[in-house]
Structure 1
Amino acid sequence: MAHSFESLVIRHTHRLASPTGSAGAGATAARQFDAALASVGFKLSAELLERLSGLSEAAVVHTAKRTLRTVSEMVGDHVRHNVYFIDFPANVPDTEEFWMRCVAKALGDDRSRENLLKQLAHGVLDLLSLPTYGRYQHTYEEMLAAQDELIASAGDRVTVLHLGRDLDDELTDLYLALAGSTTPLGEDDLRDLKALAERCALGPQPESIPVRENRAVVNEARLGVGADLLLDTVTDVLRLACALSGGDVTLREPTRFRALSRPVRRALLVGLDAVVAANPAKLADVHAHREPFKRLGERLHPHEYPRWPHAADVFAVARGEKEARSFEGRVEKLLDESDVLGAVQLLKSAPGKLFRALDLLLRIAADQEERDAVVAAAVQVAPDVSGRVVLSVREHLHNRERETGEPRIFVNRRGRAWVTPDVRPPVPAADRDRLLAALDAEMLRRLPAPGRLLIDPDVLDVALPLSGRATAAGLGVLPRGSVSAVDGEQLRFFVYWKETEGRTDYDLSALLLHSDYSTDSWLSYTSLKAVGGKHSGDITEAPEGASEFINLSLDRVRSTFIVPQVNIYAGESFEEVEESFFGFMLRDAEQRGRPFEPRTVRMKSELRGVGRVALPLVFRRGNDGRWRAKWLHLYLKGISSANQVEENQVSVSKVVRALVEREQLSVGYLIGLMSRDTTAVDLWDGEPVPDGPVMYIGLERPEGLHPDSRVITLENLRDLIPG
């Protein structure tokens, strides 16, 4: 367990909890550890190297083994990445030539000849029936022997591991950061919070836990150690029940409630009773989740506990036996009656709901007097709205300036995306501009006075992480909508998957689009070569794990957009396979090396979404000729089997266009607000290192900053979002 917690700290913070062990002369072992890290694109900070050098050699080796295992998994180097074409990207054949080669070998094989001749007689060829198609024809070791050594480059990725505090302190800090996050966490972070909460439930707690899913996970741990529960709505109790049953605390998916022990049933009923007794109006919250509450009531047996009548009322409302008029119903009635002023007055008691209804209210308002009332109400309640919602509405209103009829993209919490024309009437420009100015002023009021502000220019176009669900777990992953520079001549995508039970075939493809988003060409198992690009070959099963690659020479690609995608052709979904991940590498033109070289990996993300087509990101060539990536983290529904790039090109093009042309609020937006006062803002390239404390915002933590500095990097970017 200690190793897993140490790994958790490394993954989340890029810090190594202060290594322990007897003192000694570990300098040589520490340098060897540093060299081993370099092979996977990591290095020890000077401070961490010095700390390890003062330990015994055995202690350094012990630390190195555990750390190397963790960072190898972070970058995707914990598995063997083989390729179908042994010397990829060299000598990739034309598609038809390759298929004919497979047919010729099948005709020469007594076991396959008869079946193949029958197929050819009917004019249909099943590639999977060819003995040499879709399965590695050489071992991993033979592939390595056929490849040249990697030529080191100054452009290779280097991720620094810093010296942390004691493990207990690091875990407490991480628990407080995750539990107190002002934005929802992704599934992996929520799972890590669960492990941390079980360890930290009786220790220091965050001042508040604003995200309900986080509260459910923490409450589960608190219930386990007999601590008071944190409940202020009936839905908090429902989420806790889901957590106790191993279900979905986000309430997106139905949970099959387990039989609960009598003490747990009592705790949940006491919690419900207290919430409703304090505010009977909260019974109205039951309507949003009536069916789950009915099923939960069947497990809690509230009729056995007459001393908690308010808890019984919750389930009576769920069954329709007791009336509790919902807030949403009252608002909807006023809107149906075109009573905008009445709806605004009611919504002022629920500031978050008012903010989410601003677009609708401004569109249906009958005259300027009503629109003025809407804007005035928004300004009045803005201080009571969470920073995440303020920023989300600000981003929404900014994008409403675009022409009606442009594509409108919807993305659910699981990353599933769909596009529809925007048929809404426009929001009046003057009212929209007044709201934008008011929201900017509210954000400026909440932002801290940072003192001296040092900025890594590469962070300016990173989208604000308004939800952890807009970012996949992995290394070097940016939130959906972020834009980052692509500095390299060779761009190489990779996908790895390992099936759990049945034969599973994932296909890595790339759709190449013109500037108007029409199709130029594609790379896939049906098109192994295109201008500037090559595919490593189709693998059609993965009992031991399988990899596919696409290599692109960016100076030869003539298209404007490159859209990598992973299509599920057959078998298990992204959530059913034992493991699956996607990433990309960048190399200089003269660099050789294996198909997978961990030090050249710029990004590696887990594939864990609902849908049969994954769209991790899109690459776009600008007017200046430079390539930039825009991060998507999207999944399309696709079809149940045989998803192919040539079949989904229209739907992919629509989704890409909708997100590429949408403008996300970025880190640069918040920095722009901070710099409105006398704050000193420096775009910093790492030299010289300032003597005093600063606030640093960048992609990675630099070495040498004053210990009292506040550092914001990708690992804790959510801390930028005011509460």
Structure 2
Amino acid sequence: MSHPLEPLVVRHTLRVPAPSGPGRPAGSEGQGAAAARQFDTALMSVGFKLSADLLEHLSELPGAVVADTAARTLDTVRRMVGDHVRHNVYFVDFPANVPDTHDFWAECVLRALVDDTAREGTLPVLFDGLVNLLALPAYGTYQHTYTEMLAAHDELIVDAGDRVTLLHLGGPVEAEATALYLALAGSTTPLGNEDLRDLAVLAEHRAAGPQPAQIPVRENRAVVNRARFDAGADLLLDTVTDVLRLACALSGGDVTLLEPTRFRSLSRRDRRALLAGLDSVVAHSPGRLADVHAHREAFKRLGERLHAHEYAARWPHAARVFAVARGEAEARSFDGRVEELLGAGDVTGAARLLAGAPGKLLRALDRLLCACATQEERDAVTTAAEQVLPQASGRVLLSVREHLHNRADGDRANSDRADSAARRVFVNRTGRAWVTPDTRPPVPAPERERLIAALDAETARRLPDPGHLLIDPDVLDVALPLSGKATTAGLGVLPRGSASPVEGELLRFFTYWKQASRDTDFDLSGLVLNEAYETVCWLSYTSLTEVEGVHSGDITQAPDGASEFIDLRLGAVRGTYVVPQVNIYAGEGFEDVEESFFGYMLRDGEQRGRPFEARTVRMKSELRGPGRVALPLVFVRGKDGGWHAKWLHLHLKGRPHSNRVEENRVSVATLVRGIVERERLTVRYLTGLMAGRATATTLWDGTAVPDGPVTYVGLERPEGLHPDSRIITPENLRDLIPG
């Protein structure tokens, strides 16, 4: 019998909750084993496989139970890899027989001229020297069925390098769901939007059950509070902003507070609960009134919905919240006091005040050190920072450590990084990116080195003793997930700045979209840059063929879904960087379409098959975010000639319509340079600190694993690990961040 949380468990953990069923009836021996083998074979066609323990468990169950489990799990993993939709291509033989762009356009015009319906509209514009490609009947829509496309391609030649992702045996679904809920709710780093939605589903089922010891991320707390509110459980509120986030959740709004929420009419019960929460917070901590300033307009709108004036006598402290929001009462903000001190040149005083808010002090270190006029002031700031390190969150420690590493005072003098050091790349929580000149003076080297040493020591102190540390070398260059924001859900998705090897002769990346209510045209493009980030060429609907590869053809509407592909032979690429991008030419945005995603496949040079073959997919991510241009990742050629993927997770604002790779290539190159050349804190950094406390450290060579318990850190969980092992893979990499 299916459970509504089972797909969440499979997606997040790659574990199949242990199916249960009646004992195998007499005479049915072998049915479970046969069904399990069939299940395994079906999984292999989409690049998955049952682990030995899962195969053994399923083999002991009745065949009907195994078949039911197989149907549900196959549906989940097909969605994970993008195989739940039909991927057609404009050119039926793609990647073979893709024509030259201008020859193709000329053919479309000729076909329009012999079409009685289209000829009348085509001839007049030809006399003007202009042709609207979208008006040509042969352009932009599939000219063959999906079945006809399949018939034009040979069966996939299975290769040893094809992706195989193991599915492992989990515990009972209730236990697995509870463990997943505790992990997401108690995460020390913010979750992405998809994970937040999954947490909301889990919280609805787990509000009355076990809870994390702490919920440090405020958005997570808001989602949990929403579920606890419905269940009648106690709420977790210690700031006025916690109450505001809960009000947003009750209205179906944005608990991250990035987008304004339109508060709905609230029931008397809801109003009383929110007002009581505000009153309690302010009564306990009057200083929290200063937090109102950051979201003044939202509090004013909420006050109107809560009818706060009617309850002023009952909850006077709550009434003060809305008085501050309206400007009728004063609540001096903490940040305002800091600015006053800095404006007066009192850097030491500002540092002393900030010491009461360790996270704010550490985030302000760069500014404070650059504002110091004397060595005495620099010593005071550095000492204050060292003293508050034990009170700051692990995520803040790591963020500041990464920042200081990239603020070396020698950067500006370093000739090969001079251009990048003169610019700052900013990326907000939604993935929108922009570049500004960097006019900051360097951070003084002695203080920078002293702080880095202190940050390393404090981080190492918080890491658990790993025992035997077993490390997959391929995970070492994965960036630490200091935030899940702007990192979309999917298969093989890694945090921004991560590097992962790309091994194969043929690289094929793709996008799929399905419009919701109006014609929508997404354009897949690939920009090739040289080592100086200058344009070499591009592949797009305006450039279907290049030395590097071919484009599958332009599809201009997607009522039933549409796909575009770009095929590259990596050995033929003339540049150093290949930047896939998805441009919205017309229609709905990434947040508005019914579905959209991006991914890439790897094949050897002679491997036949359809344009889309699930078992060759190495990565697939949802395309969600602001802006009209998406930059999921960049492929980088190393000095040794090998390639790797560097994760971007960026969005450009773009134009309202008609975005093209030719017109955004300069801004794209600047952003790519900023991400590629910034040095991220990676798994290598934390495992290096952990190794100092390990009883043994082993780089796993992909063969046998140790017999005893280990702390395993890798891209995928191998078979045969001791059941008491601690396992860290990209699915739960956030657990590596110390609290």
Q: TM-score range by the shorter chain?
A: over 0.9
Structure 1 residue 695: Cα displacement: 0.3
Following the alignment from structure 2 to structure 1, what is the Cα–Cα distance between the partners of residues 531 and 4?
A: 47
Structure 1 residue 607: Cα displacement: 0.4
Q: Does 1:124 align with 2:140?
A: no
Aligned to 1:565: 581
Structure 1 residue 678: Cα displacement: 5.0
Aligned to 1:367: 374
Q: Does 1:30 align with 2:33?
A: no
1:497 to 495, 500, 513: 513
In the TM superposition, what whole-angstrom CA distance separates every residue of 1:227-278 from its partner, at most 9, and x where no partner exists?
A: 1110110000000000000000000000001111111111111111111111
SS at match of 1:575: coil
| Matched residue type, 1:12 | H
Contact kept in structure 2, 1:470 and 1:479, CA below 8 Å: no
Aligned to 1:710: 726
2:697 to 675, 681, 692: 681
Aligned CA distance change for structure 1 residues 636 and 60 (closer, same or farther; 3 Å):
same
Instruction: Map 1:271-670 onto structure 2 (within 5 A).
Output: 271-305=277-311, 306-401=313-408, 402-403=411-412, 405-670=421-686
SS at match of 2:723: coil
Aligned to 1:16: 16
SS at match of 1:530: coil
Structure 1 residue 703: Cα displacement: 1.0
Following the alignment from structure 1 to structure 2, what is the Cα–Cα distance between the partners of residues 37 and 687?
A: 23
Following the alignment from structure 1 to structure 2, what is the Cα–Cα distance between the partners of residues 220 and 28?
A: 45
SS at match of 1:303: helix
Contact kept in structure 2, 1:696 and 1:711, CA below 8 Å: yes
1:148 to 151, 154, 168: 154
Aligned CA distance change for structure 1 residues 453 and 239 (closer, same or farther; 3 Å):
same
Structure 1 residue 556: Cα displacement: 1.1
Structure 1 residue 3: Cα displacement: 4.2
SS at match of 2:49: strand
Structure 1 residue 186: Cα displacement: 0.3
Aligned to 1:7: 7
Aligned to 2:164: 158
| Matched residue type, 1:309 | P
Following the alignment from structure 2 to structure 1, what is the Cα–Cα distance between the partners of residues 705 and 294?
A: 53
Contact kept in structure 2, 1:286 and 1:293, CA below 8 Å: yes
Q: Calculate the aligned-residue CA RMSD, in Å.
A: 1.0
SS at match of 2:572: coil
Aligned to 2:204: 198
Identity across aligned pairs (percent)?
Answer: 72
Structure 1 residue 419: Cα displacement: 1.1
1:84 to 82, 86, 90: 90
SS at match of 1:648: helix
Contact kept in structure 2, 1:286 and 1:318, CA below 8 Å: yes
Structure 1 residue 700: Cα displacement: 1.0
Aligned to 2:738: 722
Following the alignment from structure 2 to structure 1, what is the Cα–Cα distance between the partners of residues 473 and 3?
A: 35
Structure 1 residue 677: Cα displacement: 3.9
Where in structure 1 are there 5+ consecutive unaligned residues?
A: none
Following the alignment from structure 2 to structure 1, what is the Cα–Cα distance between the partners of residues 9 and 696?
A: 32
Structure 1 residue 282: Cα displacement: 0.8
Structure 1 residue 653: Cα displacement: 0.5
2:140 to 119, 130, 134: 134
SS at match of 1:243: helix
Following the alignment from structure 1 to structure 2, what is the Cα–Cα distance between the partners of residues 472 and 229?
A: 29
Following the alignment from structure 2 to structure 1, what is the Cα–Cα distance between the partners of residues 479 and 707?
A: 30
SS at match of 1:342: helix
Following the alignment from structure 1 to structure 2, what is the Cα–Cα distance between the partners of residues 511 and 672?
A: 36
Q: Does 1:238 align with 2:254?
A: no
SS at match of 1:663: coil
Structure 1 residue 303: Cα displacement: 2.3
Contact kept in structure 2, 1:3 and 1:66, CA below 8 Å: no
Aligned to 2:28: none
Contact kept in structure 1, 2:468 and 2:694, CA below 8 Å: no
Q: Does 1:225 align with 2:228?
A: no
Structure 1 residue 407: Cα displacement: 2.1
In the TM superposition, what whole-angstrom CA distance separates every residue of 1:34-53 from its partner, at most 9, and x where no partner exists?
A: 00000000000111111111
Aligned residues: 723
Structure 1 residue 393: Cα displacement: 0.7
SS at match of 1:112: helix
Aligned CA distance change for structure 1 residues 28 and 481 (closer, same or farther; 3 Å):
same
Aligned CA distance change for structure 1 residues 2 and 237 (closer, same or farther; 3 Å):
farther
| Matched residue type, 2:395 | R
Structure 1 residue 472: Cα displacement: 1.4
In the TM superposition, what whole-angstrom CA distance separates every residue of 1:325-374 from its partner, at most 9, and x where no partner exists?
A: 00010000001001001101100000010011000000001111101111
Following the alignment from structure 1 to structure 2, what is the Cα–Cα distance between the partners of residues 329 and 314?
A: 18
| Matched residue type, 2:507 | L
Following the alignment from structure 1 to structure 2, what is the Cα–Cα distance between the partners of residues 4 and 483?
A: 35
Contact kept in structure 1, 2:530 and 2:576, CA below 8 Å: yes
